[in-house]
Structure 1
């Protein structure tokens, strides 16, 4: 793969997606995009070599829309990164926490910081995203307004952090995947690997049960299985699955061969190194 010079993400500068780009690709230019469609398009048309996309959150669950965009995007998962989410309350320089009346943030962030908001008697105000909330507070120039956003947003918009670690749960973590036009599969036998794939199960009795049986009998650990509708048909169910194995491993190879008997299609989205965070959280 050519050297990464640009990586696209959804959101405004200072967002968690921006932070994880800086963390893992510090020498690349992080390119903000208004929507997930714009992120996929940026990689597809060559404006960026990679995309950083959130796919799951330990509290909110799966990120909406990604499962629909990814299979037909023509892009491939080449890496995963877990980001523990740290929310801070930020206001104008010189602002005091006891003088704050309203707090702006994304609806999910507000929901994940209910305890702090309630204890301080703040009025929540929904913004498009967390970094956008910080920008809004900076532009409003009102010392009674604050934002709940990642620390990077305070640095980006010249705000002062008034309180740290305001999230209700300390296990709040978002999993991101890195997408590329190139299919860069991790080699077999070189450490833990995750394989992500989608399949379209046949509309026959026990098809899903039989399709998944091969993973159990071959000792393959499936860590994710999610369904979603396609084409507006209630019987046309697509599944996104992830397993901790490499397609060249004999067990997964046999399981995928068995899966093919009960599905219309099986499409591998990526074969990539497992983030060490997986094993840390499992201990």
Structure 2
């Protein structure tokens, strides 16, 4: 057979595969109805293991891994379709609950609001809040939990908190608070971070023996600090570090902080842009106690707790793949009180109102212990 004949035969086989695949997926409705009538779960691990074992045994040895992957994906897509059928018309279905938080197209993101931030004036959270809201009324709190409590208690409409940095990684305390409070994320921002070394007027770089800043800023400037060869003191916030230096009687201390803090606290910039990489961005999120999905939202965040058994995370990832959902971030955090067990945070490129998002939200129950939908939102860059 020449190449033309081979390709023609492949096309014939593919047509047959497509026809059988459509027929197989069409049976999902009948399977779902039968399971609903008998009260059985969509995921039947014993039958799935048996199916995969029989497929692997029937395949030629060199094709066994491919056959197993193919049938595993087929069953994942079929289970997703069954979940969709079983959830249809259910007002308590995850997709229906999520859609209830969608706002009308004439409900743009607010330009003014009461906003809670951690730190003091000049903090990067304040800079982020002023980028996210045109005229925010900002109240400052000393801790991230203070921000969450202010939103929970209705003292502020929204909170703005950092969640990850491109070089120093995730802000674990914020992830843990998201799990605890189960707030919604309604917007996010990628903010370019440039750290300055600030000190009292007249101070020389050679005079500095101690530098204060937040632990993330310290991590982002680790190389510079090593070359400087001074003590490092961790502060609750970069702006609070600048405020501490301004109030100190010592002239051998400095702060890693924003340029805005130099003017705010009467400090000089001894060294500019001292972060180790120029590609230094921090993602900030806007949290709300009430679910709100504003028009044009394209990024979705979820938290999943999976069973503590082999393959449990794989089944979740397989479901994303089956629905052609792009995963842009995966973060794990320990589950309090459960040794060596983890919850997982996912950021997905999955727009509000899209069919893949609806099917995904309704198709995760059988592959995880618990799923929390944090919202779908726009990321400002």
**TM-score, with length taken from structure 2:** 0.66
- The answer on whether the counterparts of 1:20 and 1:83 sit within 8 Å (CA) in structure 2 is yes
Alignment of 1:1-283 (within 5 A): 4-187=112-295, 190=296, 193-234=298-339, 236-275=341-380, 277=381
- The answer on whether the counterparts of 2:188 and 2:283 sit within 8 Å (CA) in structure 1 is yes
Distance verdict in 2 for CA 1:68–1:145, change over 3 Å: closer
| Deviation at residue 163 of structure 1 after TM alignment | 1.7
| Deviation at residue 269 of structure 1 after TM alignment | 0.5
For the pair shown, the structure with the greater C-alpha radius of gyration is 2
- The answer on whether the counterparts of 1:4 and 1:49 sit within 8 Å (CA) in structure 2 is no
| Deviation at residue 123 of structure 1 after TM alignment | 3.8
User: What is the alpha-carbon distance in structure 2 between the residues aligned to residue 15 and residue 43 of structure 1?
Assistant: 19
- The answer on whether the counterparts of 1:92 and 1:141 sit within 8 Å (CA) in structure 2 is no
Q: Which structure: greater helix fraction?
A: 2
Distance verdict in 2 for CA 1:225–1:110, change over 3 Å: closer
Q: Which structure: greater strand fraction?
A: 1
Gaps of 5+ in 1: 278-283
Distance verdict in 2 for CA 1:209–1:107, change over 3 Å: closer
User: What is the alpha-carbon distance in structure 2 between the residues aligned to residue 76 and residue 205 of structure 1?
Assistant: 31
| Deviation at residue 45 of structure 1 after TM alignment | 1.3
- The answer on whether the counterparts of 2:142 and 2:236 sit within 8 Å (CA) in structure 1 is no
| Deviation at residue 182 of structure 1 after TM alignment | 2.4
User: What is the alpha-carbon distance in structure 2 between the residues aligned to residue 154 and residue 185 of structure 1?
Assistant: 37
Partner-residue secondary structure (3-state), 1:95? coil
Partner-residue secondary structure (3-state), 1:14? coil
- The answer on whether the counterparts of 2:111 and 2:136 sit within 8 Å (CA) in structure 1 is no
Q: For each residue in 1:227-260, what CA deviation from the matched residue of structure 2 results, as whole angstroms up to 9, or x when unmatched?
A: 2232411365322111101253222333333322
Q: For each residue in 1:76-113, what CA deviation from the matched residue of structure 2 results, as whole angstroms up to 9, or x when unmatched?
A: 11000011111001111233334433322233323332
Distance verdict in 2 for CA 1:163–1:236, change over 3 Å: closer
- The answer on whether the counterparts of 2:301 and 2:374 sit within 8 Å (CA) in structure 1 is yes
Distance verdict in 2 for CA 1:114–1:273, change over 3 Å: closer
Distance verdict in 2 for CA 1:81–1:207, change over 3 Å: same
| Deviation at residue 206 of structure 1 after TM alignment | 2.0
User: What is the alpha-carbon distance in structure 2 between the residues aligned to residue 116 and residue 203 of structure 1?
Assistant: 42
| Deviation at residue 14 of structure 1 after TM alignment | 2.0
